[in-house]
Chains A and B, each alone.
Chain A
Amino acid sequence: SQELEQSPQSLIVQEGKNLTINCTSSKTLYGLYWYKQKYGEGLIFLMMLQKGGEEKSHEKITAKLDEKKQQSSLHITASQPSHAGIYLCGADNSGNTPLVFGKGTRLSVIA
């Protein structure tokens, strides 16, 4: 079965610092999704990656998918308090099967 390992589990960074969250799959992915969640709230879509070597950016967040499509990283530049939350990676195995999620990374940004 599909397994996603996400690291680190939690992260505390000082405002203005950069950070990276990693997501590793046990299988080659059809697609990889990144979401942000505030505790007890819905998921906010960040980015979707499907091609090996693909990289996408939105504001200060950049996500990459490796050539083998088994590992992805999410990088935040110059972190702000608004970046705090839980970041989840989700694996798409075929395009219409449910996403399988990693355990999430809890990010805290301190002033």
Chain B
Amino acid sequence: GAVVSQHPSRVICKSGTSVKIECRSLDFQATTMFWYRQFPKKSLMLMATSNEGSKATYEQGVEKDKFLINHASLTLSTLTVTSAHPEDSSFYICSANYAGGGYGYTFGSGTRLTVV
């Protein structure tokens, strides 16, 4: 089945530093990937749509300069949280649409970011 690998699963960083989160489609090509953020006890909020070879599309209210997305290949999308602050602490999760089977949208295992 379609697998999306997300790394790291947990990261703690200091305020002001940047953190990169990777999302890889392991056995299929994903021209489009989606990045979500989840606050404690809340549902998933779409942040942006990552498009291979072009600029990402950000949802309203999401700062594109804060959350840099790069989709340089058909199997890898990265989300970089720049100049992280404690309010950026959250659970980030990526997704890719696998059209080749019954799984449809496959999700990574998520990254818990804690900014101290």
Contacts and interface: CB of A to CB of B under 8 A. Distances in A.
Nearest to A97: B49
Contacts, number: 52
Interface residues of A, number: 23
> Taking chain B's interface residues, is the majority helix, strand, or loop, or is none over half, making it mixed?
strand
B46 A98 contact: yes
B43 interface: yes
Given A96-B97, A101-B43, A101-B44, A35 B107 contact: yes
Interface residues of B, number: 24
A51 interface: no
Interface of B: 6, 32, 34, 41-44, 46, 49, 91, 93, 95, 97, 99, 102-110, 112
8 contacts: A35-B107, A40-B110, A42-B109, A48-B104, A96-B97, A99-B95, A101-B44, A103-B42
Interface of A: 31, 33, 35, 39-43, 45, 48, 88, 90, 92, 95-96, 98-104, 106
